[in-house]
């Protein structure tokens, strides 16, 4: 190029001014002509030729890949710190699972439980003690376990209510109280749920560890279930420190409960790089497990309070009446009956050193 | 009433990320948030293809269906907007969204999510004043009779925004002009079943 421009002054001089102009005109004419020809060719573009010469498009296999959510080696997305695929197709699956199955069936299970228990209470009624109270008490729950139980229990109730609000609240409270109230209510729900959840998880594990030795399944527990916990045949059934039903509740918490806690952690701390797919699964497990636990817990709450005379005092004062122990936990009673104390002794004991004394020995 | 839609012509997109930048600029979105992204398939291969993605303002929007606070709503123009005052940052909309549109500024401890942010089709969002609206949701160009800036400034006009009918007409014209049977989405057997491409093949 440099050479050409350098030579030009030497080659051009003998051309006259007019010759130069003609040359330019000729060039322009040729250009216009060639454009016209090109236009004609373009108008006759033939699809087959275009197909064969054009860059190949995305084929069916690649669209299948996009739909399946896979991202190959040569997949790029321009968003900062993101590896999202083009189509998150499991999102719709998750939506259907959650909205079509988990929500309505959760409502049916919990509502059903409330109805069954109400009917049971109205028809069968409270299970009273059959014998007279002896007035002598057996120590059942030390202060530490009672404190732990009530902490876990209150956290459970808060988590259940806030969780239900996250799933169903929008159908009720938004219309009822308006946006301003609903906004505060739902953000409080999420806040409580996310911050109390981990505390519940840790305390639940501690409680499970403390109680495991009382909840090892035994042969008489099977018998307990066959007789419906004594409801069938009106005959007393054998039970140690924990009866078959209590053990079942323990093991539900030790399995489903732990699963709910674990999936809750996955959802609560999105800063460990877990993807949307993982969180979709965690959410389904969390919701199904938690709705199930809530339903069963209603049964536990009923039996522990309204449903059975003499049960609640064990968890509030730590002591139960001899008669209650004999009727509900006969095997345990046989072991510890010589450790009973009168109410007067109890009052004296409390006055002298508080209630944190050691419990009667137990066996499951 | 108009039904607003985005459409990205993958045969035209050159992955310049101009739309991404335009959006950031128009809406002044938070640090770390990028409402639009460009996805490239088979990068560097002969069948490389790019497509610009943001919220597609779905008809039956999954985000809307799963949000626990029910904070989404559809405008008369078919634009899916949400109320940041109600949003609790639970992330459900992100789990459900087909296009990965919802994003969260991570501003709190333990990765707790902030208020969700996503493309508004440049239609702002619910707020008392214009300033508040801009602060929370970005520009409201729709109110000024303008279309989203990303599509307005797309250099190849790959990204189209507007009433679904108009967008479809423009695209149909292009497909006709391209002339071959699957001018919409090359080599996609589904494309021939798709009305748009099928009609075009007839006419072309
Ligand atoms: S956020 Fe996602 S699901 Fe919601 S309208 Fe936009 S693209 Fe659809
Ligand atoms: S993050 Fe906000 S907008 Fe998304 S589902 Fe949760 S509350 Fe709704």
> What are the domain boundaries of chain A?
89-351
Closest CA in chain B for residue A65: B41
Tell me the C-alpha distance between A206 and A202, whole Å.
Answer: 6
Residue with the nearest Cα to atom 8 of ligand 2?
Answer: B67
**Are A74 and B17 a contacting pair at CB < 8 A?**
no
Closest CA in chain A for residue B61: A92
Same-domain check for residues B156 and B181: no
Same-domain check for residues B8 and B60: yes
Domain that holds residue B8: 4-163
Same-domain check for residues B111 and B28: yes
Residue with the nearest Cα to atom 1 of ligand 2?
Answer: B89
**Closest CA relative to residue B67, chosen from B44, B83, B50, B47:** B83
Q: Which fold has domain A89-351?
A: Fumarate Reductase Cytochrome B subunit (1.20.950)
Same-domain check for residues B105 and B179: no
**B67: which DSSP letter?**
-
Same-domain check for residues B154 and B79: yes
- Over residues A149-175, the pLDDT tens digits come to 999 999 999 999 999 999 999 999 999
- Over residues A24-78, the pLDDT tens digits come to 666 666 655 555 544 444 445 565 665 555 555 666 777 787 888 888 888 899 8
Task: Give the closest of B86, B113, B179 to A270, CB-based.
Answer: B113
Phi, psi of A7 (to 5 degrees): -80, -30
How many structural domains compose chain B?
Answer: 2
Does A309 score more than 80 pLDDT? Answer: yes
pLDDT given for residue A363 in this prediction: 56
Cα of B106 vs centre of ligand 1, distance in Å, is 20
Same-domain check for residues B144 and B74: yes
pLDDT given for residue A143 in this prediction: 96
Cα of B70 vs centre of ligand 2, distance in Å, is 8
In sequence order, what are the residues at sequence separation of 6 or more whose Cβ sits closer than 8 angstroms to the Cβ of residue A116? none
Q: Which residues pair with B159 in a beta bridge?
A: B8
pLDDT given for residue A69 in this prediction: 84
ipTM of the complex: 0.87
C-alpha A160: how far from chain center? 11
Triad A291, A292, A296: Cα angle to 5° = 120
pLDDT given for residue B49 in this prediction: 86
Same-domain check for residues B150 and B188: no
Task: Give the closest of A80, A88, A268 to B32, CB-based.
Answer: A80
Same-domain check for residues B117 and B173: no
Among B101, B102, B123, B137, the mutation site with the greatest number of ligand 1 atoms within 8 A of its Cβ is B101
User: In chain B, which stretches have pLDDT less than 50?
Assistant: 188-204
pLDDT given for residue B82 in this prediction: 97
């Amino acid at each position: 190029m440099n050479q050409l421009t350098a030579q030009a002054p030497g080659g051009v001089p003998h051309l006259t001014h007019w010759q130069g102009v003609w040359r330019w005109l000729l060039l322009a004419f040729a250009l216009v002509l060639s454009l016209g020809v090109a236009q004609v060719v373009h108008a006759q573009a033939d699809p087959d030729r275009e197909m064969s010469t054009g860059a190949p498009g995305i084929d069916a296999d690649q669209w299948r890949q996009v739909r399946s959510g896979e991202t190959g080696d040569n997949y790029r997305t321009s968003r900062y710190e993101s590896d999202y695929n083009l189509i998150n197709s499991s999102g719709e699956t998750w939506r259907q699972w959650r909205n079509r199955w988990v929500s309505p069936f959760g409502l049916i299970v919990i509502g059903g439980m409330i109805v069954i228990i109400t009917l049971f209470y109205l028809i069968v009624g409270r299970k009273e003690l059959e014998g007279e109270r002896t007035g002598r008490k057996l120590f059942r729950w030390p202060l530490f376990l009672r404190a732990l139980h009530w902490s876990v229990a209150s956290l459970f109730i808060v988590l259940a209510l806030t969780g239900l609000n996250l799933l169903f609240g929008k159908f009720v409270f938004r219309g009822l109280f308006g946006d301003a109230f609903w906004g505060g209510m739902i953000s409080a729900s999420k806040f409580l749920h996310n911050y109390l959840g981990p505390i519940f998880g840790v305390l639940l594990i501690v409680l499970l560890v403390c109680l495991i030795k009382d909840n090892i399944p035994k042969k008489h527990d099977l018998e307990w279930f066959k007789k419906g916990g004594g409801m069938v045949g009106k005959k007393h059934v054998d039970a140690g420190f924990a009866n078959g039903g209590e053990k079942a509740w323990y093991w539900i918490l030790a399995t489903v409960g732990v699963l709910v806690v674990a999936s809750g952690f996955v959802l609560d701390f999105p800063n460990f790089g877990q993807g949307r797919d993982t969180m979709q699964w965690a959410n389904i497990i969390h919701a199904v497990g938690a709705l199930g636990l809530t339903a069963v817990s209603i049964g536990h709450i009923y039996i522990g309070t309204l449903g059975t005379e003499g049960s609640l005092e064990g968890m509030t004062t730590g002591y139960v009446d001899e008669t209650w122990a004999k009727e509900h936990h006969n095997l345990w009673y046989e072991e510890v009956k010589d450790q009973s104390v009168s109410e007067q002794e109890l009052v004296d004991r409390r006055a002298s050193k508080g209630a944190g004394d050691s419990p009667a020995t137990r066996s499951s | 009433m108009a039904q607003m839609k985005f459409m990205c012509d993958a045969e035209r997109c050159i992955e310049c990320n101009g739309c991404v930048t335009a959006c950031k600029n128009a809406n002044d979105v938070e640090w770390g948030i990028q409402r639009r992204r460009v996805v490239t398939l088979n990068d560097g291969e002969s069948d490389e293809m790019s497509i610009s993605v943001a919220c597609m303002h779905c008809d039956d929007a999954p985000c809307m269906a799963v949000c626990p606070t029910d904070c989404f709503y559809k405008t008369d123009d078919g634009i899916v907007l949400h109320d940041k005052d109600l949003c609790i940052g639970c992330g459900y909309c992100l789990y459900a969204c087909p296009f990965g549109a919802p994003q969260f500024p991570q501003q709190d401890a333990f990765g707790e999510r902030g208020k969700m942010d996503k493309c508004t089709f440049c239609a702002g969002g619910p707020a008392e004043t214009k300033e508040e609206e801009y602060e929370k949701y970005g520009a409201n160009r729709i109110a000024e009779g303008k279309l989203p800036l990303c599509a307005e400034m797309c250099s190849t006009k790959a990204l189209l925004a507007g009433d679904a009918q108009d967008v479809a007409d423009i695209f149909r014209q292009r497909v006709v002009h391209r002339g071959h049977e699957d001018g919409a989405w090359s080599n996609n057997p589904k494309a021939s079943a798709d009305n748009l491409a099928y009609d075009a093949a007839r006419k072309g």
